[in-house]
Amino acid sequence: MTKSKIEKNPSPQFVLTQESTLAILRSLGYGLLILSLFDWIATFVPSNFFNPAWEFQTIGAIVERVPVPLIALALVFFGELHSRNRWEFPILKLLSWLTLLLAVLFILMIPLGVSNTFRLNKENVAQINNISTQQISRAEQLQQKLSEATPEQIDNLLKNRGASLSGKKPEEVKNELLSQVSKAKAQIKDQAETTQSLRGLSLIKTSTKWLLGALVSALLFFSFWKGTDWARL
């Protein structure tokens, strides 16, 4: 009987303790929101819009930092209207609508992120192809010079490198050098293909992680908006 009365009628000290705990949690929430705001502002400074690399990295930075504002909002909205100060009501209403805005923004990040992923992959492929083309071009020039070189020029080439014919015929050495250049050209092509594959895979993995994170974040912000209709009354 006594236990039932205590449960139905909590002591004033318990109520005060509960209210103090709510105040601490909400203060922590407001503080984390302010810190998140500073962090997001720093992410956008300096800005470089329409640069796919900057936009892609910025999306990633925002998604990586989103747990803090989500936790902050949960703390701020905790307890709904119980034990609220008068100044909190307009802030709660504003934050409630802000969660809807953030949900929309995170949804819009997804197509932007997909577009930037394709653009960055295209740029990476072009850059790797450009480098490999230059290297192959230099190899082909060397190959052409070796093909046209006389036995004396082959001998001089080896001497300039601190080597000698070592009893081999100049034509034999010439064929060996041409074979080495041909292998080098094949290695350049293989290395370019491998680099393209690895960079593309890394880009896709990172993009998938961030875009799925943006989707989950959008759903969570929308759930905050839907669950805080009491703050918009």
How far apart, in Å, do the first and last CA atoms of the chain sit? 40
Q: What is the C-alpha to C-alpha distance for residues 181 and 204, in angstroms, rounded to an integer?
A: 35
221 vs 130: CA distance, rounded Å: 44
CA dihedral (205, 210, 213, 214) positive or negative: negative
pLDDT tens column, 9-57 = 556 554 556 788 898 999 999 999 999 999 999 999 999 999 999 999 9
Residue 173 binned pLDDT confidence (cut-offs 50, 70, 90) = confident
**Residue entry with tokens 């802030």:** 91
Which of 1-5, 148-152, 215-219 holds the top average pLDDT? Answer: 215-219
Q: Which amino acid is at 121?
A: N
pLDDT at 5: 44
**DSSP letter string over 126-173?**
HHHHHHHHHHHHHHHHHHHHHHH--HHHHHHHHHHTT---TT--HHHH
Please check the confidence at residue 164 and state whether its pLDDT lies above 70: no
For the cut 70, the answer to whether the pLDDT of residue 7 exceeds it is no
- What are the structure tokens assigned to 122, written together? 């295209």
Residue 214 contacts residue 63 (beta carbons within 8 Å): yes
Backbone angles phi, psi at 45, to 5 degrees: -120, 120
Hey, which of 83-87, 102-106, 171-175, 188-192 has the most confident mean pLDDT? 102-106
Q: How far is CA 12 from CA 21, 57, 79, 106, 131, in A?
A: 14, 52, 18, 44, 76
Residue 157 reports pLDDT greater than 80: no
Task: Look up residue 10 and give its DSSP letter.
Answer: -
Average of per-residue pLDDT values in the chain: 88
Average pLDDT estimate for 188-194: 92
Q: What residue ranges do the domains of the chain occupy?
A: 2-147+202-232
Cis preceding linkage at 111, omega within 30: no
pLDDT reported for residue 54: 96
